[in-house]
Structure 1
Amino acid sequence: MITQMFIFLFIAWILSMIIDKLLREKFNIPKMKGMYKTVNSLHKWIERLIVAVFLLGAGFLIFINDPNQNPDTFLIWLLIYFCTLFSVRSWMEWKYQRETNQYIISIYNLVFVLIIIVTSFIFFY
């Protein structure tokens, strides 16, 4: 079961890189150098808050629940985290840097992460 999951994640990662490259070519989106850069200081603080809430919540979930016995709650928490992060990121990029089309990549990342987590939840747990 764990081997199948790693194979699935590897294939998904390769597929993700191919789709990312195709989207960047189609919409003329340059590849970012280095780490992700927020669009402004408000965006930076919102993302920091999202990460802090996620880490606190994840720590709380691990403390309250044993992830080995009930991985569902942690997967749902991951789903909420990534949905929130990429939704905020997409909206801020669309609102403040629409001309760069970077929001298209962020929306793609949101959809891709949703598919991966939901598929993992359905087939591997």
Structure 2
Amino acid sequence: MFERWLKKKLMIGKSKGHFYKGVNKYQKWIEISVLIAFLILIWFVVNTIPLLIGYFLISLSFRAFMEWKYKREKKEYILTLYSMFIYLFVLVTGFYLI
């Protein structure tokens, strides 16, 4: 609900398609590399919640930086930062409540 209000307030248009498309091919390959590294590390780590928190923090921070650097006028990086904080809040809260 807040995200919808934020889109309206900042005049951010609807995204095309259902999946995220990076701003350039380098972003795509770096995000895939980070995902593969995360999937490999998950086999060797006993407590995966901090690893998951780190993955979201790294991948969404990088995505927000790339959007800010290359598509600043669209202001999509603000939504990415918002979703990053929501994901991290839910994960950290869930981690400490369990």
TM-score band w.r.t. shorter chain: over 0.9
Measured against aligned partners, the alpha-carbon deviations of 1:1-38 in whole angstroms (never above 9, x if no partner) come to xxxxxxxxxxxxxxxxx111111111111221220000
Match of 1:31 in 2: 14
The residue type paired with residue 45 of structure 1 is: W
Match of 1:90 in 2: 64
The residue type paired with residue 93 of structure 2 is: T
Are 1:47 and 2:21 counterparts?
Answer: no
TM-score, normalised with respect to structure 2: 0.93
Higher share of residues assigned helix: 1
Q: Write the mapping of 1:51-66 to structure 2, written as runs, cut at 5 A.
A: 51-61=35-45, 65=46
Q: Give the fraction of aligned pairs with identical amino acids, expressed as a percent.
A: 35
**RMSD of equivalent CA atoms:** 1.0
Q: Which runs of 5+ in 2 are unaligned?
A: none
TM-score, normalised with respect to structure 1: 0.74
The residue type paired with residue 24 of structure 1 is: K
Higher Cα Rg, which structure? 1
Measured against aligned partners, the alpha-carbon deviations of 1:28-59 in whole angstroms (never above 9, x if no partner) come to 11221220000001111111111111111112
**Secondary structure of the structure 2 residue equivalent to 1:29:** coil
The residue type paired with residue 28 of structure 1 is: M
**Secondary structure of the structure 2 residue equivalent to 1:119:** helix
The residue type paired with residue 86 of structure 2 is: F
